[in-house]
Amino acid sequence: MPEITDVSLNSGQIQFIKEEAPVPDNVQREGNVTIHNQGRPGRPAYYDTSFLISMDYVEGGITGTNIFSLGTIVVNDQESAPYREVEDQAARALPQMLRDLADRLEKQIANPQDGS
């Protein structure tokens, strides 16, 4: 089993995504042509965040490094929220996400046909 020797959470990237209002279904008629437009649900404003995480490990005397990106969403309608505040809230969600991921990976490895 690899032994993790170092982990580094690098600065996050944050992008504000504006709210989208719901669009109702509607019908357009032009002459003898009727067009049915399907609506879509709305979506609240949020910050889309992404972090690079690097991890060094040792296995059998050989060292290795993994670098991966992990993102999360921070629901917040304030476009001018302080960057550090949003980044901190997003970073605090990462450990639990990784625990949940590890649990699901263990289940999937134990039951590869299950796919859950």
DSSP run (H or E) holding 32: none
Give the integer Cα–Cα distance in Å for 8 and 52. Answer: 8
Point out which residues pair with 26 in neighbouring strands.
37
**Residue 92 near residue 74 (C-beta atoms within 8 A):** no
Point out which residues pair with 8 in neighbouring strands.
54
The model carries a pTM of 0.75
Encode the chain (116 residues) as per-residue pLDDT tens digits. Answer: 899 999 999 988 999 999 999 999 999 998 999 999 999 999 999 999 999 999 999 999 999 999 999 999 999 999 999 999 999 999 999 999 999 999 999 999 998 887 65
Structure tokens at 54: 């690097």
